Structure 1
Amino acid sequence: MSVTTTEKRRPHYNPAVLRWARKLAGVSLADVALSVKVKEEQVAEWEREEPKKAPTVLQARKLANLYKRPFLEFFRRTLPDLPDPVLIPDFRLFQTSSNPLTTKKHKEIQLWAETQRINALDLYSEIGEHPLEIPKTLFQTVKADHERAAEQARAAINFPIMAQVDRSTVGRRRIPGEIRRKIEAIGVLVFRRTDLTQLRVRGFCIAVSPLPIIVVGSEIPTAEAFTLGHEFAHVLIRQTALSGAIPRTGGNPSKRRVEEWCNRFASAFLMPRDTLQDYLDFPSDPFDEISDEALHRTALYFGVSDHAMLIRLVHLRYVKSEYYWQIRKPQFDREESEYRGFGRSAYYGTRYRNTQGDLYTGLVLEAWGSGRITNHHAAEYMGIKNIQHVLDIRDHYRSG
């Protein structure tokens, strides 16, 4: 005896999860209906306790994209255990009339980063391995000598200064990516969100263990290297924080102490004192100024921005701080505010890898390659729809 159906069988989504995801995203029934191109009553029906009709796979994937949630989450029997996040402490020292920390955009980026970490922990479980953990000897406090801490960190990630200096133009652009991969290799998830810059945020750190998180925005490559160093310092002092530019005065004293230590660590990490003093003849008393040509030449040698180099030279008393704050700082701020990046990469694998980083990408590909997760699961972990893009990402990853 055969049984015929008038409609193709649809997946069994949990309507409670559909409703929860929509509300978490702050999207109305009307907005969903407009986006998915159905009637508002149909969306409400999908969310009823015992719906008569479920969304198609295509419609459900559109919902996942709209709600910014993994498609597979809709199949859960219970609601995901993702409470409203405790927002990251704001360590920016300037005052604003509207705090971006409380905005929907910042909450979205933070939730996304925390979800990626949960995914990474799940992937480690899938492949039967323990997550990487940062060597305990690297952890510091703001009372520690930042020069020594930076030296230990460079040694731990196996990135000697002579591998960084005196590079070609192309080689200098690769420095942030190399530092990022070295940091990831000791158990730090490093993500990039270009929309972070809209919030006047250089980066943030979520100092949890295992797999602490660093998220950076879009900056000039040489400036990005400094931001990576600053957020890496936050990881090492185990201080979760949202970071931005540091004004000359003002702000909470304890936060200023943390931010200044992290800046000094980043400077020492990228421009070790001994190497810099070998390159320049240091005066007994600070110079009133440094020529643009000399500053730029020194910055190029170390593969950092002129801005980062001048900060370091002020720290080491090569040049007076007034020259930085009164003359060059306003110029640097203007130049950096006008930076628009190099445009979007034409190759999907490159774009994905830039956003997710090698640690996360490698976990997805390892679980997929070993048969622990399916093609569709791999695509969901990566946050993409087209399986062909997963293959492209795998090929790009293998090619280095």
Structure 2
Amino acid sequence: MCDLPGLTVSRFLLVLSRSRGAMRFIRNVEDDNGDLVELIYYCSWLCFSTESDAAVASLTGGAWPCLDSELTLPAVCRGCGRPVGASDSIEVELELHSSAHGASTDLAERYFGSGFRERGRMARTPKVPVTPSLLSWARELSGYSLTDIAKRVGVKDATRVAAWEAGDDQPTLAQVRKLAASYGRTPAFFFLKTPPPSDLPKEPDFRGLTVRGSLSPKLRREMRLAAERRASYIELHGADDFRLAELGVSLDQPETAARVVRDALGVSIREQFEARDNSWAYSLWLSAIENSGVLVFQMSRVPLAETRGFSIFEPESPVIVLNGADVPQAKSFTLFHELGHLLESSGGICGWTDDAAERRCNAFAADALMPGAEFLHELGDRDPIEAISDLASRFRVSREAAAVRLKVLGRLEQQDLDRIRQETADWVAENRQRASDREGGPPHHLIHLRNLGQRYVEAVLDAYQDDRITFADAAFYLDAKVPTIQRMEQALQDRNAS
């Protein structure tokens, strides 16, 4: 053990943990109530007598060891250049992430020592020597401009951010945290020596978008999160075979492909008709597709105008991500549309282009949800326009989807379809405005559970209950605090019991 002034390292042990591609040191301990506490240490060297900038401690060997290894005091202060003497202090900033509310300074001092000071009382705002190339790499991959980041971090203009990325200046630790939050990284990520390979899923076709650069930062982040969650799921549970791929269907014959896939999913037309509402029908399809080896997530804060969903093809545990802002009947259609992409061994972003792949996937989704024979049987001799709402309710699809199906089957004119589409768009806009005017909404834990997906959440909770991961690990995988995790677990139990 090393013996440094002002720091008693024998009181704690830092263990290595991966955090979304970056490294951090953590120590899991318990407070007086037995609640788990996660300690994250940020070490910086700071001259005692100067207002100079601080530098994060360099570790011997350039590795990320436990603190059994020695920390090396630099010869000069990296802020002012003054030689570092034996009387100079080492300031260590400590974050507490606790399952109990209000983790106290006393608890920090027990594991850290009496020299601990709350960050709010620190006199200095030291800068930290992040790797400049990582700042520019993360910003460009996230799709932000320099001006965007300047606003998010709270600096006056983009030249300050440009200086950080050029290595001419350094951000403070508080600013690093804001950068990390904007890019979906951890603060420790920016201390890596070189940028890692891109972790944005590489899709063969960004459908509905003119160029890759037109992806919004929010959508890029959701794509990264989906890929990360898939990797975490496989780490905890193992990869699932995509069993529907074994059917060998071709979307060049969408009606046949849809019939074969429906049979494999095991949801009959009668069950579809008997679903008590659109949400129930969507849940039937969601459960059946998840059970076929597909991970289904949802996303928030991405406008429907940008995309209703996207898919990431992998031979095992492929991914579909739906836009949580959509209504259940529209989600059902997007679910099958993206499933069509996966059956073609491709991924994509659902848009409104009219290319061949999108047409095949739309035809497949329509045939799966509204089989032609059954759809025409339900129509009977009725006037198609007057029957649209009833057909949409019967098959648990949107009015627009029912109208398009009638047009494809030769029972509706294009001008009538155009009018119905406009009516539907007006109705959706009006209802969204009403929803935005209403206060409240679904509880946070249900939104979080929806976005993570039942299959993923259960994989994490199973790993924790089997003692394969700690509760801190579970909180990290679920990106949630203790009360949210407990409520999600109870919601799953209630759902499985119903």
Pairwise same-fold verdict (TM > 0.5): yes
1:290 equivalent among 384, 389, 393? 384
Match of 1:34 in 2: 154
Task: Kindly indicate whether the alpha-carbon contact (under 8 Å) linking 1:189 and 1:213 is maintained by their aligned counterparts in 2.
Answer: yes
Q: Deviations over 1:56-107 (max 9, x none)?
A: 9xx8765542321257857878754335654662433xxxxx94853352x5
| Equivalent-residue separation in structure 2 for 1:155 and 1:61 (angstroms) | 50
Task: Kindly indicate whether the alpha-carbon contact (under 8 Å) linking 2:392 and 2:399 is maintained by their aligned counterparts in 1.
Answer: yes
User: What displacement does 1:149 show?
Assistant: 1.2
Q: Which amino acid aligns with 1:176?
A: Y
- Per the normalisation by structure 2, the TM-score is 0.61
2:350 equivalent among 240, 243, 250? 243
Match of 1:261 in 2: 360
Matched, 1:359 2:359: no
Q: How does 1:224-239 map to 2 (within 5 A)?
A: 224-239=331-346
Q: Which of these two proteins has the greater Rg computed from alpha carbons? A: 2
| Equivalent-residue separation in structure 2 for 1:101 and 1:150 (angstroms) | 31
User: What displacement does 1:155 show?
Assistant: 2.1
| Equivalent-residue separation in structure 2 for 1:101 and 1:279 (angstroms) | 43
2:269 equivalent among 147, 154, 161? 161
Decide whether aligned partners of structure 1 residues 30 and 61 sit closer, same or farther in structure 2, where only a CA change above 3 A counts.
Answer: closer
1:332 equivalent among 424, 431, 450? 424
| Equivalent-residue separation in structure 1 for 2:482 and 2:468 (angstroms) | 17
Q: Which amino acid aligns with 2:243?
A: I
Task: Kindly indicate whether the alpha-carbon contact (under 8 Å) linking 2:236 and 2:459 is maintained by their aligned counterparts in 1.
Answer: no
Decide whether aligned partners of structure 1 residues 102 and 160 sit closer, same or farther in structure 2, where only a CA change above 3 A counts.
Answer: same
Match of 1:140 in 2: 249
User: What displacement does 1:32 show?
Assistant: 7.0
User: What displacement does 1:298 show?
Assistant: 2.1
Decide whether aligned partners of structure 1 residues 244 and 114 sit closer, same or farther in structure 2, where only a CA change above 3 A counts.
Answer: same
Decide whether aligned partners of structure 1 residues 372 and 268 sit closer, same or farther in structure 2, where only a CA change above 3 A counts.
Answer: same
| Equivalent-residue separation in structure 2 for 1:339 and 1:295 (angstroms) | 19
Task: Kindly indicate whether the alpha-carbon contact (under 8 Å) linking 2:236 and 2:460 is maintained by their aligned counterparts in 1.
Answer: no
Task: Kindly indicate whether the alpha-carbon contact (under 8 Å) linking 2:239 and 2:317 is maintained by their aligned counterparts in 1.
Answer: no
Q: Deviations over 1:28-72 (max 9, x none)?
A: 68657639xxxx89x96xx99xx9x9959xx87655423212578
Instruction: Supply the RMSD in Å over aligned alpha carbons.
Output: 3.9
| Equivalent-residue separation in structure 2 for 1:30 and 1:295 (angstroms) | 50
Task: Kindly indicate whether the alpha-carbon contact (under 8 Å) linking 1:187 and 1:212 is maintained by their aligned counterparts in 2.
Answer: yes
2:286 equivalent among 173, 180, 197? 180
| Equivalent-residue separation in structure 1 for 2:456 and 2:485 (angstroms) | 14
| Equivalent-residue separation in structure 2 for 1:150 and 1:109 (angstroms) | 29
Higher helix share: 1
User: What displacement does 1:165 show?
Assistant: 0.5
1 or 2 for the larger relative contact order (CA 8 Å, sep ≥6)?
Answer: 1
> Structure 1: where are the runs of 5+ without partners?
93-97
Decide whether aligned partners of structure 1 residues 216 and 30 sit closer, same or farther in structure 2, where only a CA change above 3 A counts.
Answer: closer
1:68 equivalent among 179, 184, 190? 184
Q: How does 1:297-308 map to 2 (within 5 A)?
A: 297-308=390-401
User: What displacement does 1:350 show?
Assistant: 0.7
Percent identical: 22
| Equivalent-residue separation in structure 2 for 1:380 and 1:361 (angstroms) | 12
Secondary structure at the counterpart of residue 69 of structure 1: coil
Match of 2:488 in 1: 393
Decide whether aligned partners of structure 1 residues 310 and 33 sit closer, same or farther in structure 2, where only a CA change above 3 A counts.
Answer: closer
| Equivalent-residue separation in structure 1 for 2:396 and 2:457 (angstroms) | 27
Task: Kindly indicate whether the alpha-carbon contact (under 8 Å) linking 1:202 and 1:245 is maintained by their aligned counterparts in 2.
Answer: no
Decide whether aligned partners of structure 1 residues 80 and 368 sit closer, same or farther in structure 2, where only a CA change above 3 A counts.
Answer: farther
| Equivalent-residue separation in structure 2 for 1:73 and 1:362 (angstroms) | 28
1:309 equivalent among 365, 384, 402? 402
| Equivalent-residue separation in structure 1 for 2:377 and 2:420 (angstroms) | 25
Question: Which is worse superposed, 192-201 or 349-358?
Answer: 192-201
| Equivalent-residue separation in structure 1 for 2:129 and 2:466 (angstroms) | 29
Task: Kindly indicate whether the alpha-carbon contact (under 8 Å) linking 2:403 and 2:417 is maintained by their aligned counterparts in 1.
Answer: no
Secondary structure at the counterpart of residue 135 of structure 1: helix
| Equivalent-residue separation in structure 2 for 1:389 and 1:77 (angstroms) | 36
Higher strand share: 2
Match of 1:271 in 2: 370
Decide whether aligned partners of structure 1 residues 70 and 372 sit closer, same or farther in structure 2, where only a CA change above 3 A counts.
Answer: farther
Decide whether aligned partners of structure 1 residues 395 and 11 sit closer, same or farther in structure 2, where only a CA change above 3 A counts.
Answer: same
- Per the normalisation by structure 1, the TM-score is 0.74
Matched, 1:82 2:214: no
Decide whether aligned partners of structure 1 residues 108 and 200 sit closer, same or farther in structure 2, where only a CA change above 3 A counts.
Answer: closer
| Equivalent-residue separation in structure 1 for 2:310 and 2:332 (angstroms) | 14
Match of 2:74 in 1: none
User: What displacement does 1:260 show?
Assistant: 2.1
Task: Kindly indicate whether the alpha-carbon contact (under 8 Å) linking 1:142 and 1:237 is maintained by their aligned counterparts in 2.
Answer: yes
Q: Which amino acid aligns with 1:65?
A: A
Q: Deviations over 1:284-320 (max 9, x none)?
A: xxx9x6243x221222122222221122222233x13
User: What displacement does 1:111 show?
Assistant: 4.4
Q: Which amino acid aligns with 2:461?
A: L
Q: Which amino acid aligns with 2:490?
A: D
User: What displacement does 1:352 show?
Assistant: 0.7
